[in-house]
Amino acid sequence: MKSPVGWLLLSAVPLVIGTVAAIVLRLAYPDVLVRFITTPAGLALGVGAAITGIAVIWVVAARRSAQRRYALLVSGAEQARIEHQEFLARLDHELKNPLTAIRAALAAHGTEGSPHLEIADSQAQRLGSLVGDLRKLSGLQSQELECEPVDLGEVVGEATEAVNTSLRQRGSSREFTVDFPTVPWRVPPIEGDSDLLYLAVFNLLANAAKFTGEGDCVEVRAGEVHGRVWLEVADTGIGIPAEDLPHVWSELARGSNARGISGSGLGLPLVKVVIERHGGRVSVRSREGEGTAVRIELPVKHPTLELHGAGVPR
Partner 1 sequence: MAEPIRVLLVDDESAITDSLGAFLTDAGFDVRVADDGIAALAATASWRPSIIVCDVIMPRLDGRGVVRELRQQGDWTPLILLTKVDATPERSAALDEGADDYLSKPFDPDELVSRIRAVLRRATAGAPPLSAADRLVAGELVYDRRARRIWLAGKELALTPRALLLLEYLMGRPGEVHSRDRLLSTLWGFDFPASTRAVDHRIAELRRVLNDDAGRPRFIETVQSLGYRFVARVERA
Task: Name the residues that contact partner 1, by CB under 8 A.
Answer: 93, 96-105, 107-108, 124-125, 128, 131-132, 135-136, 139-140, 142-144, 146, 148, 158, 162, 194-196, 198-199, 202, 206, 270
Which residues, in sequence order, are CB contacts of 158 under 8 Å at separation 6+?
198
Which of 196/294 has CB closer to partner 1? 196
Which of 51/218 has CB closer to partner 1? 218
Nearest approach, Cβ of 263 to partner 1 (angstroms)? 13
Which of 71/101 has CB closer to partner 1? 101
Q: Is 67 left (phi over 0), alpha (psi -120 to 50) or beta?
A: alpha
Nearest approach, Cβ of 125 to partner 1 (angstroms)? 8
Which of 118/146 has CB closer to partner 1? 146
Which of 44/199 has CB closer to partner 1? 199
Nearest approach, Cβ of 161 to partner 1 (angstroms)? 10
Nearest approach, Cβ of 286 to partner 1 (angstroms)? 23
Nearest approach, Cβ of 101 to partner 1 (angstroms)? 4
Nearest approach, Cβ of 312 to partner 1 (angstroms)? 16
Which of 128/241 has CB closer to partner 1? 128
